[in-house]
A and B are shown apart, each in its own frame.
Chain A
């Protein structure tokens, strides 16, 4: 433990009451309060945007492909392309499940894990990335919503096996 960390651990805590809380600005119940109807309306917002999601994700695939091709070419700094890919895949991971495609979230999680932990990648890694990206495309083109049924579970199982083999 460093001296600085030791000092922090031994420091005395000072408790401070915040000058205001949200309770001062919200009422419970009455017109306009959140109820089951409001929650349903809010979930409907997500459903309504889900149609647009398929367009957005197409743009994400294009950007991902550009970064992936650049990474494979080795013409530029690997880190720049890895960071670009990670950022795109990370966004896709968050959006997939939000718009009814949790399989996208799962596959993006596997791919982003590789991108986040790697510094340099060789041809073998590039092939693995290709498989993940293609699997993501399958989820979208086959519209594998929810768990994707049998096709979805086979896809995920195949990817997990590939990951275990390394």
Chain B
């Protein structure tokens, strides 16, 4: 097995628990990551983002004064956000379905349930590398496309095919040039998950979480 070389990636870890910070940092270093910056809550992390070019953020949820979910919203939709497209992995002890869907609908790329393992963390990083997603601005949502897969059996309405859906690349970006040369990806034929999914009691396993997010 030989996989990705992560040494050029900059990671920002956000957690108010110094032991978890040490743990995640240690795992990343063992995986070959050289540049890791730590922040102790969402406000601290947002401040760090102004001068730290994070390629990936790994954030806890339950922090104060600014928790992980508010931090994600600030990064995605804040008018002064330095990096609204940065991939975010939510690493949290929350595993209830309503929490997972709330995180997804706030704009996280990946949801990683504690307890953590090196294999699980690398799996989420690898997923971001191998499956880059377009961003979507729709209604109140701005973040990575929540439709990860096309569902060939879906027979419902396809809102995104109606009207003026459009693919936009930032002017002058490499993506813009690439977009000119390549056909735009076909929109998936699956309904966007409702933002008000009902919550469920009881935690989900990481496999269940992955399956939910892959729907």
Contact = CB atoms under 8 A, between A and B. Distances in A.
Contacts, number: 209
B150 interface: no
B134 A22 contact: no
B167 A26 contact: no
B167 A15 contact: yes
A46 B132 contact: no
Contacts of A49: 19, 22-23, 26
A95 B114 CA distance: 7
Interface residues of A, number: 61
A148 B95 CA distance: 22
A53 B20 CA distance: 10
B5 A8 contact: no
B114 A15 contact: no
B136 interface: yes
Interface in B79-131: 85, 87, 92-93, 95, 114-119, 122, 128-129
B210 interface: no
B211 interface: no
A46 B28 CA distance: 11
A28 B3 contact: yes
Interface in A107-154: 108-109, 112-113
Contacts of B137: 13-14, 16
A98 B118 CA distance: 10
A22 B166 CA distance: 23
Interface string A23-34: 111111111111
B4 A11 contact: no
Contact residues on B (Cβ < 8 Å of other chain), bracket: 35 or more
Contacts of B140: 4, 8
A23 B184 CA distance: 18
B128 A22 contact: yes
B215 interface: no
Given A14-B166, A20-B174, A45-B27, A35 B139 contact: no
B155 interface: no
A97 B115 contact: yes
Nearest to A98: B115
A44 B29 CA distance: 12
Contacts of A62: none
B151 interface: no
Given A42-B118, A105-B114, 11 more contacts: A14-B137, A17-B168, A22-B87, A33-B32, A34-B4, A34-B122, A39-B118, A46-B117, A95-B115, A97-B114, A105-B115
30 contacts: A12-B138, A12-B159, A13-B160, A16-B167, A17-B167, A17-B170, A17-B173, A17-B179, A19-B170, A19-B175, A22-B132, A24-B174, A28-B5, A33-B32, A34-B31, A34-B122, A38-B32, A42-B26, A42-B27, A45-B27, A46-B117, A49-B26, A87-B62, A94-B17, A94-B93, A94-B114, A97-B114, A98-B23, A105-B114, A112-B93
Interface of A: 4-5, 7-36, 38-39, 41-46, 48-49, 52-53, 56, 87, 90-91, 93-99, 102, 105, 108-109, 112-113
